[in-house]
Amino acid sequence: MNKALVLVIPVVFLLANLANASYTLQNTNTTLTLDQHGGALVRELFTVYVSNDSVSQYSTYRIALNFTLSQWQALIGPGLEQHILNPNTGSSGFNLLPGPLQGGIANQSGGIATILLTYYVTNVTTINQTAPRLFTYTFNDDVFNFEHTPTGQVLPTHTQLNVILPQSTSKIITLFPLPDLPTVGSTQDYRNVSEFTWNSGEPLSRFTLVFEVRQSLEAEVISFFTSAYDDLGALSYVIIAAAIAGFVYYTYYKSVSHEKEDVEMQKRGRRSKR
């Protein structure tokens, strides 16, 4: 009987601590950095209020390091989730980094912590080549995983969405809804703008982002050789080497031929003088 009490008492204390534990998700900041391959590096920063009764529990979870997102969701709440997901391919390179508690020890009212999620999502944009070295990118809004309403998805309260375009973006074709930052009046049709921000309450059901990327000549050459290697493997190196060797031989042959022609012309010139 005493042994049973010894086993039950710690469980009772654990359940009491969980019941008193309190976490409040205060702010979510989601940033997509789009690349020229159609994917995006996603960085999500969650600001969480941790009550005084939860300080010890949060510190224990943070030290563990091997807790999964599901385990953290059970602790913090369902708002702690990946907001960008490809329904077909999911994500890769996932990292969850819980930050230190600010004010959790000295301040009896609890403290503030930040939890960082980073991961990579493919097929965030669809790419179409419309001209030599000119590509049109269309954002795929199926990757959004924000608040669902009868009229479609919206950005929840205290949520910010940031989208960073590839550096070589040359033109914004379509953008809806208009971003909160930068304001439309502060730019000339968003020329030379590479980052846009939408705040809480913005509708995402008809989110549209279409932009053009003009590829440099150097990037086009690199892309050609990369594509050739992907298609032919090591054989592509043999073909390229043969092409270079053929070009060198052709150049040398033409050079020797011109030299012979010059010598012949000089000989004829001398004979005519005689």
Task: Count Cβ neighbours within 10 Å for each residue of 226-258 and write b for 16 or more, e otherwise.
Answer: eeeeeeeeeebeeeeeeeeeeeeeeeeeeeeee
- Count of CB atoms situated within 10 Å of the CB of 162: 16
Q: Is the pLDDT of residue 3 over 50?
A: no
Q: Is the pLDDT of residue 250 over 90?
A: no
Q: Is the pLDDT of residue 4 over 90?
A: no
Summarised one tens digit per residue, pLDDT across range 211-238 is 999 986 554 444 445 455 566 666 656 7
The answer to whether the beta carbons of residues 215 and 133 sit under 8 Å apart is yes
**Structure confidence at residue 270 as a pLDDT band (50, 70, 90):** low
Structure-token pair, residue 175: 């953008």
The answer to whether the beta carbons of residues 126 and 38 sit under 8 Å apart is yes
| Mean pLDDT, range 28-57, rounded to an integer | 96
The C-alpha atoms of residue 236 and residue 232 are separated, in whole angstroms, by 5
**Structure confidence at residue 7 as a pLDDT band (50, 70, 90):** very low
Q: What is the mean pLDDT of the chain?
A: 82
DSSP state at residue 124 = S
In this prediction, residue 65 carries a pLDDT of 79
Give how far Cα 187 sits from Cα of 5, 165, 184, Å: 70, 16, 6
Q: Select the more confidently predicted residue: 106 or 164.
A: 164
User: Is this prediction's pTM over 0.85?
Assistant: no
Summarised one tens digit per residue, pLDDT across range 179-221 is 999 987 656 678 889 999 999 999 999 999 999 999 865 544 4
In this prediction, residue 272 carries a pLDDT of 65
**Structure confidence at residue 18 as a pLDDT band (50, 70, 90):** very low
